[in-house]
Amino acid sequence: MSYGEDAPTKRRVVTIPYLKEKKAKGNAITMLTAYDFPTASIQDELGIDIILCGDSLGMTVYGYKGTVPVTMEQMVAHSEAVKRGAPHCFVIGDMPFMSYQVSVEQAVTNAGRFMKEAGVDGVKLEGGVDVADRVRAITKAGIPVMGHIGLTPQSVSALGGFKAQGRDVSGALKLIEDALALEEAGAFAVLLEAMPPELGKIISERAGIPIIGIGAGPYTDGQVLVVHDALGFFEGHVAKFVKQYANLNKVIKEGLQNYIDDVTNRTFPAPEHCYGMEPEVLKAIEAKLNQK
């Protein structure tokens, strides 16, 4: 498809009951991030279940070192573009740092902005027991909430860096308690980031709601990756849990180098890229110009 056209419409619209049905049947839920219309359109066409417009856009799109500087304005604008490109996917807007921490009222107001201004299907926020009151209030307002526990990038400073979580008894028990508290508060799903597979399995088995993992092993009800990581957009270090399905960095560089070479060598544009003009028209123009 090209920009501005309607996405193909043959696929089903993903709903929370459908996601729960997938968990019940043991069918894996597919989820990726997207931050713009074209990437979301491709994912919609391919039948991805959930798209997260993640605050990871702080790094992938804006070039920040982390997610902390990301604003509501950035998240709402990108989430809106994503939902427009993915009418069939369940699109989640990620609540940025300090958009829900201050008070329950602030959390509900900002979650409401995602629904009203971006038109998404739900929101995600980080934290467990400590944010259960926010999850309860947002859910009560009729807004689906996905929880996010384990390595929570908004509190990376408090966690002491980008490290796997729940590797000892107390850490693991705390994450189990967090997941169940989120479910009890009304979350429709919980995302687990960077923890041992055994813990991903225990939480997925104990929770009645879909559990999506990123670096949480193969037993969760679904998997998510940051799309830039999955497609190899950037060179350099990637987290242990990332599998690269393409090398976009190489493809983009090759393509752009060819463009630079063509322009430099004047081999682009070629005749097939040019609009024609009848020779008489040109002659007439030249004649007019010569009269002056």
Least separation in angstroms between CB 224 and ligand KIV: 5
Query: Is 231 a residue that touches ligand KIV (CB under 6 A)?
Result: no
Nearest to 96 by CA among 40, 36, 35, 53: 53
Residue 7 is encoded by which pair of tokens? Answer: 């996405």
CA distance 128 to 121: 21
> Residue 289: what residue type?
L
* Cα separation, 26 vs 112, whole angstroms: 32
Q: Do 13 and 56 meet the contact criterion of CB atoms below 8 Å apart?
A: no
Residue of 19, 22, 54, 211 that binds ligand KIV (CB under 6 A): 54
Task: Mark the segment that binds ligand KIV (CB under 6 A) among 49-57, 163-171, 176-184, 201-209.
Answer: 49-57
Chain centre to alpha carbon of residue 146: 13
Complex with ligand KIV: residue 149 or 209, whichever CB lies closer: 149
To ligand KIV, the closest distance from the beta carbon of 32 in angstroms equals: 8
CB-nearer residue toward ligand KIV: 202 or 214: 214
Least Cα distance to 219 among 238, 255, 192, 181 occurs for: 192
* Catalytic residue status for 280: no
* Residue 56 interacts with ligand KIV (CB under 6 A): yes or no: yes
Which residue number, 120 or 170, has a Cβ lying nearer to ligand KIV?
120
51, 82 contact by CB (below 8 A):
yes
Q: Which of 193, 198, 205, 280 is catalytic?
A: 193
Site for ligand KIV in 163-222 (CB under 6 A): 193, 214
Which residue reads 């089903």 in tokens?
Answer: 12
**Which residue's CB is nearer to ligand KIV, number 162 or number 259?**
162
Cα–Cα dist 279/36, whole Å:
44
Check residue 49 for interaction with ligand KIV (CB under 6 A): no
Residues within the interface to ligand KIV (CB under 6 A): 33, 52, 54-56, 94, 148, 193, 214, 224, 226
Return the active site residues.
Answer: 193
